[in-house]
Amino acid sequence: MKTLVFLVRHGETLWNREQRCQGFTDVDLSEKGKEQAEKLARYLAKISRLEAVYSSDLIRARKTAEAIARLQGVEVQTDARLRELNQGEIEGKNLNSLLMDYPEILQKWMTEPAEVKMPGGESLRQLQARAWQAFQEIVEKNRGAELAIVAHNLCNTAILCKILELDLNHFRRIKQSSGALNIIEITNTGPVIIRLNDTHFLEEL
């Protein structure tokens, strides 16, 4: 029995463009992000008939998921475990602010990111534990189906690292662009990533 998961990163937000840490902050899609969501939705409608669409409960992911679900005739099911990394006190800050106010955390984030617990937030390992639990439960509930899961940069990366058995300290080897699509095929022998960070359908933007 084959299950096909379309793992999506939400469309662009203004904070993405400004390179600000978002985390749990509920930042809406930019106009470009809304266009990305619509283009992604149209592309998925061409290549798949989805039986379910799941999403983080944050608005940037939820609106991306709603665009997908609308063309598939299904409802979006939200799961807070699919949220982005909780970045606590540093949410809303850009690189210059981090260099000024949190130099030690930033240094460790560059060298040993898996071990960094954000002040007032969580670590990559904590994120991976909740996201992977959600991913496994969603897949088990939809065995044999084609479904979409819409989440966030680090959330998706943590799931992909788990599948690849890649240590989170090396998470930067995986890229997740705004509006990107990953395709994961799951059989009795386990998950296989058959497409990674695909954005070809957004090129005209």
Q: Which residues are catalytic?
A: 10, 84
Among candidates 181, 142, 180, which has minimal Cα distance to 1? 142
Query: HSE-up of 3 (CA within 13 Å, CB side)?
Result: 23
Structure tokens at 49: 């008939």
- Estimate to the nearest angstrom the gap between the alpha carbon of 111 and the chain centroid: 22
**Residue 16: other Cβ atoms inside 10 A:** 20
DSSP output for 115-161 = GPBPTTS-BHHHHHHHHHHHHHHHHHHTTT-EEEEEE-HHHHHHHHH
Amino acid at site 119: P
